[in-house]
């Protein structure tokens, strides 16, 4: 009898330890059951409840669709749950949980347990928030792409444009070329367009749009841009789309600008001289 009590006590202690870990873990953990197109929450820990901004009790017996999870997100989970059931082993995947205002990246492991009392297939899941890691990876890719573009097409200033948000990264040298310090120019597309000479802006947009439409392999334009001192510089602007959305729309473009003011001044001076010569010969020929 003593041995039995000791075994029961040991089992209770193990259960309490596991329950404590389950409830206090920052990871999202739980047990669910599947229907054809939805996921029933059987048991979830506090990590999952916090993620859904509710309580553990409120999650119990709720379908994912009732929690506001989008149908395509539910289907993505169902596919991986079914894969685990078919393979008879855990399945790992990364998943982007999006709402109207946020995107949270999760690293998930799901595992088939067996049939529940309802005869629906039952699974466990563990999910960790990896949004910071994903953002760091994206920042690294962006930095590498900027460097690579600068190497492929040497230029004085680098820009990086997110077409979805209109956020525009401008390198330190891009700003310095116009006489600005690092913190004197923001990160919106208006920072660029508001400085382009009014007589050149329409042409800039037209050439840029042709590239975004896929009509040209790169964007290339020469225009005047306003400096901090109020004067204008001629620049050569080159860029290209480097990322697209899942539907094929341009997502991200990068490029460089180079100061070509000296070359432009020479071209304008040469053009003026040619016009003088044309006028001279025209007058003398008809004298």
Q: What is the dihedral of CA 254, 258, 264, 265, to 10 degrees?
A: 150
Q: Tell me the average pLDDT across 196-216.
A: 96
Q: What pLDDT is stored for residue 216 in this prediction?
A: 95
Q: Is residue 5 part of a domain?
A: no
Q: Is residue 11 part of a domain?
A: no
Is a pLDDT exceeding 90 seen at residue 21? no
Q: What pLDDT is stored for residue 109 in this prediction?
A: 93
CATH of residue 92? 3.30.450.20
Q: What phi and psi values does residue 136 have, to the nearest 5 degrees?
A: -65, -40
Whole-number Å distance between alpha carbons of 26 and 128: 8
Domain match, 144 and 38 both:
no
Is a pLDDT exceeding 60 seen at residue 185? yes
Q: What pLDDT is stored for residue 42 in this prediction?
A: 92
The structure's pTM equals 0.51
* Average pLDDT for the chain: 85
Domain match, 161 and 265 both:
yes
Q: What pLDDT is stored for residue 136 in this prediction?
A: 84
Choose the final residue of a domain: 110, 130, 150. Answer: 130
Tell me the per-residue pLDDT of 237-249, one tens digit each, with 9 for 90 and over: 999 999 998 889 9
Q: Is residue 206 part of a domain?
A: yes
Domain match, 64 and 167 both:
no
Q: What pLDDT is stored for residue 202 in this prediction?
A: 96
Domain match, 195 and 101 both:
no
Tell me the per-residue pLDDT of 78-131, one tens digit each, with 9 for 90 and over: 999 999 999 999 999 998 888 878 888 999 999 999 998 889 999 999 998 998
DSSP sequence for 58-109: HHTT-BGGGGT--HHHHHHHHHHHHHHHHHTS-EEEEEEEE-SS-EEEEEEE
Domain assignment of residue 229, given as a range? 138-270
Spatial neighbors of 22 by CB under 8 A, at least 6 apart, are: 29, 45
- For the record, the structure tokens of 237 come out as 């602007």
Q: What pLDDT is stored for residue 36 in this prediction?
A: 83
Q: Tell me the average pLDDT across 124-147.
A: 82
Q: What phi and psi values does residue 180 have, to the nearest 5 degrees?
A: -105, 155
Domain count for the chain: 2
Is a pLDDT exceeding 90 seen at residue 14? no
pLDDT-derived band of residue 152, with 50, 70 and 90 as boundaries? Answer: very low
Domain match, 59 and 100 both:
yes
Is a pLDDT exceeding 50 seen at residue 230? yes
Is a pLDDT exceeding 70 seen at residue 4? no
Q: Is residue 285 part of a domain?
A: no
Q: Tell me the average pLDDT across 9-33.
A: 70
Q: Is residue 9 part of a domain?
A: no
């Amino acid at each position: 009898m003593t041995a039995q009590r000791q075994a029961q006590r040991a089992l209770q202690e193990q259960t309490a330890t596991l329950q404590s870990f389950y409830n206090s873990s920052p990871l999202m953990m739980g047990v669910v059951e599947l229907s054809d197109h939805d996921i029933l929450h059987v048991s979830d820990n506090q990590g999952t409840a916090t993620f859904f901004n509710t309580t553990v009790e409120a999650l119990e017996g709720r379908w994912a669709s009732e929690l506001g999870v989008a149908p395509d997100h539910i289907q993505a989970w169902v596919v991986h749950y079914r894969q685990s059931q078919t393979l008879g082993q855990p399945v790992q995947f990364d998943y982007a949980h999006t709402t109207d205002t946020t995107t949270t990246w999760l690293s998930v492991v799901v595992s088939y347990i067996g049939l529940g009392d309802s005869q629906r297939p039952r699974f466990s899941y563990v999910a960790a928030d990896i949004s910071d890691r994903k953002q760091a990876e994206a920042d690294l890719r962006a930095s590498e792409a900027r460097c690579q573009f600068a190497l492929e097409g040497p230029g004085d200033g680098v820009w990086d444009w997110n077409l979805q948000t209109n956020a525009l990264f401008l390198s330190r040298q891009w700003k310095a070329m116009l006489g600005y310090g690092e913190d004197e120019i923001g990160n919106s597309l208006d920072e660029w367009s508001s400085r382009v000479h009014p007589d050149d802006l329409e042409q800039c947009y037209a050439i840029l749009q042709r590239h975004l439409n896929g009509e040209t392999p790169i964007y290339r334009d020469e225009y005047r841009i306003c400096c901090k001192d109020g004067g204008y510089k001629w620049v050569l602007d080159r860029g290209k789309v480097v990322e697209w959305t899942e539907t094929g729309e341009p997502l991200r473009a990068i490029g460089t600008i180079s100061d070509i003011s000296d070359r432009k001044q020479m071209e304008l001076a040469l053009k003026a001289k040619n016009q003088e010569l044309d006028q001279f010969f025209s007058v003398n020929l008809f004298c």
